[in-house]
């Protein structure tokens, strides 16, 4: 047996070991959370903190990818304890989700607005930015957004999902698919690879049973970052 053959075998065994570890790491709890919404074959799932600077940097790219490929972007709030206003900001996002429509996604607009203004926002002036967003979008947001605590409970439920998935940092972004075998979801460790990863996910799910909605396809060329 030549040295080249031994090297090839070693590489193949190494790849097999990595794949096995990856599959073992995908627990039933993760599979229940890291999956596309009903009717989608491919989606993006992000665990985010509205006060997280890197989440603000990632947000435009995630929005661009979602629109370019016509795939859902699911955001779970994972407010970190060291960020004093992220939880309250997330509560407002969950309120606005109930007021959003397919043609006017107020929750996503709000998240992008908060990220754009993140450096200037404090726990003391958050409400003023909420009011500015409401005025700019022609809506009213009650001063007491969550009198019954249901939106706060929804934010906590999001964080519980993150804990179940073993989230260690924000943002944590996944490309998820409707596959039931192999690797149904992959974490996006390097965001410069996001578009390539989506291309691969779409290719791998092309022959899955047709979903109830249109299969994810690229609507227009997008600059890969």
Lowest mean pLDDT among 11-15, 97-101, 136-140, 148-152: 11-15
Structure token digits, residue 145:
């957004």
The pTM for the full model equals 0.81
Q: Is the pLDDT of residue 214 over 90?
A: no
pLDDT of residue 153: 98
Count the Cβ atoms, other than its own, within 10 Å of residue 19. 12
Q: Give the CA distances from residue 115 to residues 19, 33, 166, 205, in Å, rounded to whole numbers and listed in that order.
A: 36, 25, 24, 33
pLDDT of residue 154: 98
Q: Parallel, antiparallel, or unpaired: how do β-strands 42-48 and 172-177 relate?
A: antiparallel
Q: Is the pLDDT of residue 134 over 60?
A: yes
- The answer to the question of residue 222 being in a domain is no
Task: Name the more confident of 31 and 10.
Answer: 31
**Are residue 87 and residue 11 in the same domain, yes or no?**
no
**Gap between the Cα atoms of 100 and 105, Å rounded:** 5
- The answer to the question of residue 223 being in a domain is no
**Are residue 21 and residue 70 in the same domain, yes or no?**
no
pLDDT of residue 56: 98
Q: What is the mean pLDDT of the chain?
A: 86
Q: Give the CA distances from residue 148 to residues 49, 126, 143, 144, 185, in Å, rounded to whole numbers and listed in that order.
A: 23, 20, 13, 10, 35
For the stretch 179-193, pLDDT in tens is: 988 899 999 999 999
- The answer to the question of residue 211 being in a domain is no
Structural domain total, the chain: 2
Task: Provide the CB-side half-sphere exposure for 195 (13 A, CA).
Answer: 16
**Are residue 77 and residue 9 in the same domain, yes or no?**
no
**Gap between the Cα atoms of 189 and 63, Å rounded:** 17
**Are residue 18 and residue 48 in the same domain, yes or no?**
no
For the stretch 151-168, pLDDT in tens is: 999 999 999 999 999 999
pLDDT category, 55, cuts 50, 70, 90?
very high
**Are residue 64 and residue 124 in the same domain, yes or no?**
yes
Q: What are phi and psi of 64, to 5 degrees?
A: -65, -45
pLDDT of residue 123: 98
Element (H, E) at 184: none
């Amino acid at each position: 047996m030549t040295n080249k053959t031994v090297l090839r075998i070693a590489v193949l065994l190494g790849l097999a070991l990595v794949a096995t570890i990856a599959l073992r790491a995908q627990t039933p709890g993760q599979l229940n959370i890291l999956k596309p919404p009903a009717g989608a074959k491919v989606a993006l799932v992000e665990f985010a903190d509205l006060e997280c600077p890197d989440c603000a940097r990632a947000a435009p790219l995630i929005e661009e990818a979602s629109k370019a490929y016509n795939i859902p972007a699911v955001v779970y709030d994972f407010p970190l304890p060291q960020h004093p206003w992220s939880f309250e900001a997330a509560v407002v996002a969950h309120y606005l989700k109930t007021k959003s429509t397919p043609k006017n996604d107020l929750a996503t607009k709000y998240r992008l607005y908060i990220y754009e203004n993140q450096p200037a926002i404090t726990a003391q002036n958050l409400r003023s930015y909420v009011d500015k967003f409401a005025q700019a979008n022609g809506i009213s947001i009650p001063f007491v957004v969550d009198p019954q605590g249901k939106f706060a409970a929804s934010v906590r439920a999001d964080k519980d999902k993150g804990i179940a998935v073993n989230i260690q940092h924000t943002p944590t972004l996944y490309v998820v698919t409707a596959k039931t075998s192999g690797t149904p979801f992959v974490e996006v460790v390097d965001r410069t690879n996001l578009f390539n990863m989506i291309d691969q996910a779409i290719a791998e799910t092309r022959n899955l049973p047709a979903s109830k909605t249109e299969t994810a396809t690229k609507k227009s060329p997008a600059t890969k970052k």
